[in-house]
């Protein structure tokens, strides 16, 4: 997003890096104001789109569409999140940029734990590059080597293009986001001075120092196992994901009641979430102990696609089926004749 969207917009409006520095240093005038306003207005617009996409991941696109189309007074919380996400992305892309990679994103911190001398990373070939030093106009490249110099002409281009401002020649650093901008910049320099590309390249420390090819190390095997286990867990969770999620709670503040026929009753609230994209009729059955279960009001439950419904449910037990104090209850949740979930709760009754 930074390189392919926001920086492209910035370059189109403000020019390349020297032009941008000149614009920032110039006094405020109509042209500077127009360029800055246009850039930040477009940045905020794109951030708004990115924020909305994130919000639709969390609440679903239908909810998001409702927030956008309903009167604002109906969705203060949703609108608040919409503004907060837009400001968050605007702040990251317009101001914090790679600082977010360095200080907020855990990726860099993970790297310092995960990499070792066999890990392939963006690396400077110090064996080939050192002793660094500028290339004099009168000096042929071969003469440099004879004079003990390496291929690095110390042009600092790799540092200038680095979005996090580090010098890759100092070794692997946590701030490196592996964007490879320094590889491209250095390759251009190598082309100009007639030296092979790849002074900065994807390589491991052992690859550079001992010319060792990539080896399948125990650490690599460990990472493969961890990735395979995580992948397997994800697949199992995807395939065993239920279409329906149901919870049962005793109705707040209610106690048991004794009916005229001597039966006891408890009132519950059953919440059913329909995760599918089709209407789902749901049936509740009291499976243990023997008794009766009635859905209050509408008499049955039908949940709209990707919505939830809450129903009051009255359960009645005969005194002979009850234990002293509390009796465990098992409620089956059925849809289309198939059991989709089992709920467990307690039935409150008098103590003997």
Site residues (CB under 6 A) for ligand SF4?
Answer: 122, 124, 129, 152-158, 161-164, 166, 168-169, 176-182, 185-186, 189, 199-200
Token digits for 215? 């080896």
Shortest Å, Cβ 214 to ligand SF4? 19
167 versus 310: smaller Cβ distance to ligand SF4: 167
For the range 38-45, what are the long-range contacts, defined as Cβ-Cβ under 8 Å and sequence gap of 24 or more?
A: 38/13, 39/9, 39/10, 39/13, 39/14, 40/94, 42/9, 42/13, 43/6, 43/9, 43/90, 43/93, 43/94, 44/86, 44/90, 44/94
For the range 177-182, what are the long-range contacts, defined as Cβ-Cβ under 8 Å and sequence gap of 24 or more?
A: 177/98, 177/101, 177/107, 177/108, 178/121, 178/122, 179/3, 180/122, 182/122, 182/158
Shortest Å, Cβ 179 to ligand SF4? 4
For the range 221-226, what are the long-range contacts, defined as Cβ-Cβ under 8 Å and sequence gap of 24 or more?
A: 223/114
67 versus 122: smaller Cβ distance to ligand SF4: 122
Shortest Å, Cβ 201 to ligand SF4? 11
Shortest Å, Cβ 156 to ligand SF4? 5
15 versus 133: smaller Cβ distance to ligand SF4: 133
Shortest Å, Cβ 107 to ligand SF4? 12
172 versus 246: smaller Cβ distance to ligand SF4: 172
75 versus 144: smaller Cβ distance to ligand SF4: 144
163 versus 289: smaller Cβ distance to ligand SF4: 163
Partners of 74 in the beta sheet? none
CA 172 vs CA 108, 113, 177, 201, 267: distances in Å: 11, 12, 11, 12, 64
Shortest Å, Cβ 135 to ligand SF4? 9
């Amino acid at each position: 997003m930074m390189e392919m969207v926001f920086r492209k917009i910035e370059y189109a409006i403000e020019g390349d890096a020297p032009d941008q520095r000149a614009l920032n240093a110039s006094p405020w005038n109509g042209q500077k104001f127009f360029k800055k306003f246009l850039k930040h207005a477009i940045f905020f617009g794109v951030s708004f789109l990115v924020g909305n996409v994130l919000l639709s991941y969390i609440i679903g696109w239908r909810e998001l569409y409702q927030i956008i189309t309903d009167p604002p007074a109906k969705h203060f919380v949703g609108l608040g999140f919409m503004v907060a996400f837009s400001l968050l992305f605007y702040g990251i892309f317009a101001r914090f940029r790679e600082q977010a990679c360095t200080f907020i994103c855990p990726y860099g911190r993970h790297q310092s734990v995960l990499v070792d001398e066999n890990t392939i990373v963006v690396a400077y070939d110090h064996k080939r590059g050192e002793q660094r030093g500028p290339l004099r106009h009168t000096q042929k490249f071969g003469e440099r080597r004879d004079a003990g110099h390496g291929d690095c002409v110390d042009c600092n281009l790799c540092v200038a293009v680095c979005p996090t401002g580090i010098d890759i020649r100092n070794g692997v650093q946590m701030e490196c986001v592996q964007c490879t901008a320094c590889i491209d910049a250095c390759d251009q320099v190598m082309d100009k001075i007639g030296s092979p590309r790849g002074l900065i390249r994807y390589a491991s420390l052992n690859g550079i120092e001992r010319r060792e090819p990539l080896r399948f190390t125990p650490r690599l095997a460990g990472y493969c196992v961890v990735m395979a286990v995580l992948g397997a867990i994800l697949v199992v969770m995807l395939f065993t994901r239920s279409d329906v999620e149901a919870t049962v709670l005793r109705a707040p503040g209610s106690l048991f009641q004794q009916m005229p026929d001597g039966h006891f009753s408890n009132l519950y609230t059953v919440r059913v979430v329909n995760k599918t994209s089709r209407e789902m009729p749901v049936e509740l059955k009291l499976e243990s102990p023997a008794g009766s279960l009635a859905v209050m009001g509408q008499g049955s439950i039908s949940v709209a696609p990707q919505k939830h419904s809450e129903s009051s449910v009255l359960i009645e037990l005969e005194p002979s089926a009850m234990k002293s104090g509390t009796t465990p209850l098992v409620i089956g949740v059925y849809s289309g004749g198939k059991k989709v979930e089992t709920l467990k709760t307690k039935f409150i009754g008098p103590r003997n």
